[in-house]
Chain A
Amino acid sequence: MSETLKVVVDRPDVNVAVLRTDGYINNTGGEEIAKEAYALLGSGVNRLLLDLEKTKIVNSIGISILIEILEKLLDQGGKLAFCRLTPTIEKTFQIMGLAQYARIFSAPEPALAWLRGETE
């Protein structure tokens, strides 16, 4: 049985990137996302959208790695958004308070508009 996470990166703007995940965000999945996110941060991206449309389950170890990414982004004056979460993943993020520091959207377009500073 393997739930290996796949991450596809898209960079629509010079300082904005979208990471589309497919699979279970656990410790190894979280590390896979972090590897991509930190490479992007190193190349000037400080606004990230995590599109979790194809992720149906997460665990708290994976989310703790997402919190590390959020911390690094905030340290660099950046922003983190999530979109297309399952109701349970969104509820879990709310329970943990992640939504106080990152924004959650139902679709990618409004998330990208927020990351670009086009909307509040």
Chain B
Amino acid sequence: MSSVERREVHMTIPVAPEMEIAATAQVSALGEWMEMGRDKIDEVKMAVVEACINAFEHSATPDRKVELAFRVGAEEGGRGAYLEVDVTDAGHGFDPTRLKTPEIAAALRSSRKRGWGIKIIESLMDDVRIESGEHGTRIVMRKYR
């Protein structure tokens, strides 16, 4: 890609085992097209997996579907080309400010070992925005090339 062309792909996946892997194929395709490095593509794939399984496990979305939008764009005069992924469900939502940050020491002492998804997403992506309410949740994740 000689210059940064905008490109957008939409996808709907059912709430079903391993459908998050189908979503990562789009990340690979768009990441390679925009000449993003392999390690960064893999980090976006991991973040997409986590956002999808969060929706699968916690949203109780009544339509049993998760919507994804994959967007290639560029910030003029900013940080340049990026790959942005939205993961949206129509579930009951949650309050992101009430999420507890997991700690490995506590996890090793307790029966609760889960709850790492948002921490992983925020650590692997450059920008993350979570919009959540009674009509669902949308996680917007951006990684710069």
Contacts and interface: CB of A to CB of B under 8 A. Distances in A.
B108 A60 contact: no
A61 B120 CA distance: 12
Contacts of A56: 42
SS class, residues of chain B in contact with chain A: helix
A96 B113 contact: no
Which bracket fits the contact residues of B?
20 to 34
SS class, residues of chain A in contact with chain B: helix
Interface string B5-18: 00000000000011
Contacts of A97: 103-105
Interface residues of A, number: 31
Given A3-B21, A60-B117, A67 B53 contact: no
Contacts of B102: 96
Contacts of A71: 108
B18 A61 contact: no
B67 interface: no
Interface of B: 17-18, 20-22, 24, 39, 42-43, 45-46, 49-50, 53, 57, 102-105, 107-108, 113-114, 116-117, 119-120, 123-124
